[in-house]
Chains A and B, each alone.
Chain A
């Protein structure tokens, strides 16, 4: 397994997870499987005690494919320790909504990881939507990551982070 340049909750972290191909055998190692496999093997996975994660794709193959629906994770959410949101290209922003649904509708408290085309100018927005783990390119330093997160000193609106938003904060709400 290649070493990932991983940041979790703003600090450098060691990756313990494997992305697992659909035809690879599932072991007790922390494994990230596809939504297809999660649904197909739901019965046998129900008794799994080792850490389980799933990757959600924002794009699909069909002409009008909307990508995978985050709400399909609802029945399995208590079994999941990690959800990886795949950004096929930085300008596909579907994963931002998926992150907020996971955090604020499902109250998902596990690791929410951004993977794929995840770049400097998107980290802060992702962070505000509840993504707490970032797979960074090898040449990106932790300092660079922290600088990016601090570029805007505040926000007008609430999201999935602790920032309440000026529209509320001004009146002390």
Chain B
């Protein structure tokens, strides 16, 4: 994992002290709320329905155990003993006091963490694959270029007041777990025929009220030139992106209105100029320095099979179910990737208590080579667990309600905070997620249904990713009453697609029944081995619509 050098430490310290000054100027009245707003946002501080909210960055979703412990400490000391992992691999605290936030940031800085650019119209936290460095068949660990992008984009003087927020995601694997095609810029690590590493770049994806799958801008940018290419995209966007209407200000609208070919031409022209100056060509020594931090950790040489692991599953059906749903093959013999679902039946998606975070930190330290990952689907991962240790890890997780064996299943839902917290929401998301989770609580039924991703947003801003849910649910407000619209067929992976709306929305009373109707339509009509999304893609909307509305 990347470790800060003196420079990184100093810059974060500078930012905390700068923010302390900004808070003081706000409190003294030297700054108006309007002038303070973009400053606090750029440091992750939102004003929500009930209180200030702080969003802390977890760059490309990777944490060390001491960092997870600090996040637990912050939840205890500055918040109400819990926190919320987001779809952008960040963590949010819902109740910190504004005047205490600088102290909180000082504490975070001691473990190389911060809230820099977790909000505001700037380049946000770079996200990536939670299985980076652990999954087989990766072209290259995507965290290497993610860290380079993190540094380049931090306090970028030209791109701090963009037309709108800007999100970059990277995958190093052909199975996209980072939803890169739903980002302003999505990057796929590639190897060319000469064996060199470079990047395929997609631009203009996004959700919100106008969802788009990103368009491919280039097949291959050499590694050392990627920053020049990104700077070219950003400059085109900063100069031409719309600022007259915040709903039309994302780069997806610019790409859509400009057209893919013309956008490519503009970016290539800008790239040629920047590249000619050579000023953004990253030195090989620095690429090597950063790459070294992501070298494989000290794996032991182990047999591919573990008797302990096999016996634990045979002896305990719960362990077997956990392994079946939450444990994924590791590239290293004798190891496994263990997913921790933050979607207990009836729970709040993505929430974790301070105690749970401490438990996970201990497990990471003792059983996962000190690493934890955060996923965009609001779960956590212990990426490097010995097969021999899986049972012990399971037991510790189970003792703290962290062993729900539902990864990728119907109760593993994404939900935005919704009307319970958010001042933009039209409807509640969390209670609906909880009801759906209760309705399908039976794990055997969930296994029978198979992979099915439900994603719930409380408003059109789509923070709950409803556009790309296999089943998407959007909360809408009609004359003061909450309604829920269903869409089907969305996907956030390498086959990214925007879901189609089924028809008229359902009331709060009817929505869970409607979801069940969609699910039984699928189980009635599926062919052997078909997942929900396969059946939908084969049959289309008609049979679902018929059952929902006739």
Contact = CB atoms under 8 A, between A and B. Distances in A.
Contact of A168 (B10, B238, B286): B286
B243 A167 contact: no
B463 to A, nearest CB: 22
Contacts of A124: 157
B158 A96 contact: yes
Give the secondary structure class of B's interface: helix
A128 interface: yes
A170 B7 contact: yes
Given A105-B273, A155-B155, A156-B155, A122 B161 contact: yes
Interface string B1-42: 000010110110011011001100000000000010011000
Contacts of B154: 156
Interface in B249-290: 257, 273, 277, 279-280, 282-283, 285-286, 289
Interface string A122-164: 1011101100000000000000000000011111111100000
B121 A151 contact: no
B11 A94 contact: no
B162 interface: yes
Contact of A59 (B17, B243, B257, B279): B243
Contacts of B298: none
B159 interface: yes
Interface stretch (A23-31, A39-47, A85-93, A108-116): A85-93
Nearest to B120: A91
B15 A152 contact: yes
Contacts of B321: none
B244 interface: yes
B7 A93 contact: no
Contacts of A128: 157
A96 B286 contact: no
Interface residues on chain A, size class = 35 or more
B239 A94 contact: yes
A64 B239 contact: no
Interface of B: 5, 7-8, 10-11, 14-15, 17-18, 21-22, 35, 38-39, 121, 148, 151-152, 154-162, 227, 235, 238-240, 242-245, 257, 273, 277, 279-280, 282-283, 285-286, 289
Interface of A: 59, 63-66, 69-70, 90-94, 96-98, 100-101, 104-105, 119, 121-122, 124-126, 128-129, 151-159, 166-171, 173
27 contacts: A63-B244, A64-B242, A65-B244, A66-B239, A66-B242, A69-B239, A93-B159, A93-B162, A96-B160, A97-B158, A97-B235, A97-B238, A100-B235, A104-B277, A121-B22, A125-B158, A152-B14, A154-B7, A154-B10, A157-B227, A166-B151, A167-B148, A167-B151, A171-B283, A171-B285, A173-B283, A173-B286
